[in-house]
Every structure is written in C-alpha cells, then in structure tokens.
Amino acid sequence: MGGPLPQIPQNVMAIGGTSGMIRGRPLHQRVWNGLWPLERRCAREFYSFGMETLLKLDLNGSRMFFDAFFDLDPYYWQGFLSSRLSLGELLLLSFSLFCNASNPIKV
C-alpha cells in the first residue's frame, strides 16, 4: 500500500548531455507511464479507497465486512488479495460486495 505516488511532473535528476530527453518527450514521463499506466493508477486508487474505508469501521463493522468479502466468489477475493484483478473486475467485485453486504456496512 505504501505512501502516495509521486506527482508528475516533478523534479528529476538529469543524466547525460540530453538531460533525459528522448524524441522530445522527457524520459521520466515515459518511465512513469510504463510503470504506472492509467489502469494501474486507477486500481491503486481503488485499493487506497478500500483501505481508508476499512480503517473507519469499528470491530463489528470489520467483521461484517470480512464476512461479506469472503462470501464472494473465491476468484474475486483471491484476485483482490493477489492484485490480479483488472479494473473492470475490481468494479464487479465492489458491486458484488455492496449487494451482498449487510445494511450497516453499506452506510
């Protein structure tokens, strides 16, 4: 989960005479987009949102949440825990979880 992602653009150390420029596009942007494509950034935001939500639950709320979470199809909760789900699958997981969760958790 770690801390926040760096903000782009940000200060980077230029290396060599070209100062990190490749075909008119800064190297750090190419590397950033290669490491963090839009879908991965959205998925990371989803995971961060989920963690923030879990931290707000009391003990009973946490128990109800995890009961509903592990009642889902194992494909979804195993995929979630292993970070293998696509963004679309994460949305299906959240919709399924919302539908299966008890009312106190939905608030």
Enumerate the domain spans of the chain.
1-36, 42-106
pLDDT of 87 reads 92
pLDDT of 92 reads 94
pLDDT of 22 reads 52
CA 80 to CA 71: how far, in whole Å? 13
User: Quick one: what percent of the chain has pLDDT higher than 90?
Assistant: 39
Q: Which residues does the chain have with pLDDT short of 70? A: 1-25, 107
Query: CB of 60 within 8 A of CB of 12?
Result: no
CA 96 to CA 48: how far, in whole Å? 19
Instruction: State phi, psi for 21 to the nearest 5 degrees.
Output: -95, 130
Query: CB of 100 within 8 A of CB of 53?
Result: no
pLDDT of 8 reads 65
Nearest to 86 by CA among 39, 37, 51, 53: 39
pLDDT of 16 reads 53
